Amino acid sequence: YSTEDFWPGAMKAVTWEGVTYGIPTNNETMAFIWNADIFKRAGLDPDKAPATWDDVVKYSKQIHDKLGIAGYGLVARKNAGNTPYRFMPQLWAYGGGVFDEATANPTYEEVKLDSPQSKAALQASYDMYVRDKSVPVSALTNQQADNQPLFLAGQLGMMISHPSDYDVMLDLQKKATGADKDKAQTVIDNMRY
């Protein structure tokens, strides 16, 4: 193989001091999805995603306060593989990181997890869970798979999603019956990303 066959950012993650120590096999694109109908009923623009993570916190609270459902699908389960995948975009958006991995030329030598920006990202999650109670009560024990049925049932306003989540939700919608099937179809029709 040639290292040129891989995305440069992924190769940097497996290279140290010019030596390649692995093959990047799992480079994922995550999507932020929301339910336009829930946004509309909560008084938010149904066709406009939150622009910042501070907006996510605000929207999550507004959805919860107006509709009594979870606004954002926080995944914070200890030792769960998909927890970092959902938290890292939030961490980077605040300008934080575990190391300097989100910079143009990362060295992976500078620890940034204790930076004010990283702490702000964690504070946003804390605020949604503790202060606002606008995320699923199970956020500390769930995985992303637990958010899919909530989203499909119209009980969750927005979440970070893996591309495969859409297929999973379509499969769940096909298996639903009666009013649940109609509700699931409405959610699929109102899904935005």
Digits of tens for pLDDT over the chain (193 positions)?
788 888 777 788 788 899 999 888 766 778 899 999 999 999 999 999 999 999 999 999 999 999 999 999 988 877 666 677 778 889 999 999 988 887 778 888 888 899 999 999 999 999 999 999 999 988 888 777 788 889 988 999 999 887 777 888 888 888 888 888 888 888 888 888 8
- Residue 24 CA to residue 57 CA, distance in Å, equals 33
Tokens linked to 56: 């996510």
pTM of the model: 0.82
Q: What is the pLDDT of residue 115?
A: 94
CATH no. for residue 130?
3.40.190.10
Number of domains in the chain: 1
Range of the domain at 108: 3-192
Q: What is the pLDDT of residue 105?
A: 82
Q: Are 108 and 101 in contact (CB under 8 A)?
A: yes
Q: What is the pLDDT of residue 181?
A: 86
Tokens linked to 148: 């899919």
Angle at 135 between CA 182 and CA 190, to 5 degrees: 30
